[in-house]
Chains A and B, each alone.
Chain A
Amino acid sequence: MELAIGIILGCCALGAGIAMIAGIGPGIGEGNAVAKACEAIGRQPESSGKVTTTMLMGCAVAETTGLYALVIAILLIFVAPGRFVDIMLKAVGK
Chain B
Amino acid sequence: MNDNNTVELAKGKPEMKQPTGGFKFADFLLVLMMLLPIAAGITLKVLFATPTKGIEIKGPMIYCTFELPVQPLPITEAQVNSWLVMISITGFALFLTHGIRARVYTKRQFIAEWIVEKAEGLVKTNMGEYFAGFSPFIAAMLALSAFSSLMSLAGLFPPTSDLNVVTGWAILTFILITAYRMKCGPLTYLKTFGDPAPAMAPLNIISELATPVSMSFRHYGNILSGSVISVLVAAGLGGLSELIFGSFAETFPVLRVGLPAVLSIYFDVFSGVLQAYIFAMLTMLYTAGAFPADEFFKRHPDKAPKTTAEA
By a beta-carbon cutoff of 8 Å, the part of chain A in contact with chain B is 56-57, 60, 63-64, 67-68, 70-71, 74, 78
Contact = CB atoms under 8 A, between A and B. Distances in A.
Interface of B: 57, 214, 217-218, 220-222, 224-225, 228, 274-275, 277-278, 281-282
Contact of B278 (A57, A71, A74): A57
Contacts of B217: 64, 67-68, 71
Interface of A is mostly: helix
A78 B57 contact: yes
Query: Which 7 interchain pairs have the tightest Cβ spacing?
Result: A67-B221, A60-B278, A70-B221, A64-B214, A67-B217, A71-B217, A67-B218
Contacts of A67: 217-218, 221-222, 225
Given A56-B278, A57-B281, A63 B218 contact: yes
Contacts of B278: 56-57, 60
A70 B282 CA distance: 21
A87 to B, nearest CB: 21
Contacts of A57: 278, 281
Contact of B218 (A60, A74, A78): A60
Contacts of A68: 214, 217
A70 B218 CA distance: 10
Given A57-B278, A74-B224, A64 B218 contact: yes
A21 to B, nearest CB: 16
